[in-house]
Amino acid sequence: MATASPTFQVLSPEVCRSLLAGHSLGRVGLSVDALPVVLPVNYVLDLVLDRVVLWSGPGDKLGAALRDAVVCFEIDGMDHLGGVDWSVVVTGVATELLGTAAAFAATLRLRSWSPAAGDRPIAIGLDLMSGRRVGPVGSVA
């Protein structure tokens, strides 16, 4: 018995931003010693300057920001009852925020689950952004 293919939808930039704004846990993908690394982070979407902001202490994330490295950032979610899954991926340059930019970042409502989150703000530009939603036939609008 054949089953119908799931419904697939490319999300608009506005929907991607809305999903980014509505969540606080994501993953940063970066290169460490030429190997890919994915790290969980708490973040906030800076709607004024259109970027993802997170805090870091010394380590791989801060190292990437100090090099102005290109990184990726991803969030996703599932509706267990409706069977709809979604994902948003951002690719941009990671930079440490300093001076007035750091002071502004400190005013953003960032909730951290790690007591060792660090005190140095990092921004990831929304240079490339894409989103997808997948669900049962007829479930994705």
Count of C-beta atoms within a 10 Å radius of residue 139? 15
Residue ranges covered by each domain of the chain: 14-135
Compute the mean pLDDT over every residue in the chain, rounded to the nearest whole number: 87
Q: Can you point out the beta strands (E) in the chain? A: 7-10, 25-32, 35-42, 44-46, 51-56, 70-79, 84-96, 120-125, 128-135
CA dihedral sign, ordered 137, 83, 36, 51: positive
State the pLDDT at residue 50: 92
Q: What is the mean pLDDT of residues 66-84?
A: 89
Give the CATH fold of the 14-135 domain: Pnp Oxidase; Chain A (2.30.110)
State the pLDDT at residue 84: 87
State the pLDDT at residue 98: 94
For residue 1, pLDDT over 80 is answered with: no
Q: pTM of the prediction?
A: 0.85
How would residue 125 be classed by pLDDT, with cut points 50, 70 and 90? very high
For residue 139, pLDDT over 70 is answered with: no
Q: What is the mean pLDDT of residues 62-81?
A: 89
How would residue 96 be classed by pLDDT, with cut points 50, 70 and 90? very high
State the pLDDT at residue 116: 67
Give the angle subtended at the CA of 28 by the CAs of 37 and 124, to the nearest 5°: 135
Count of C-beta atoms within a 10 Å radius of residue 131? 22
| Most confident range, picked from 18-22, 31-35, 112-116 | 18-22
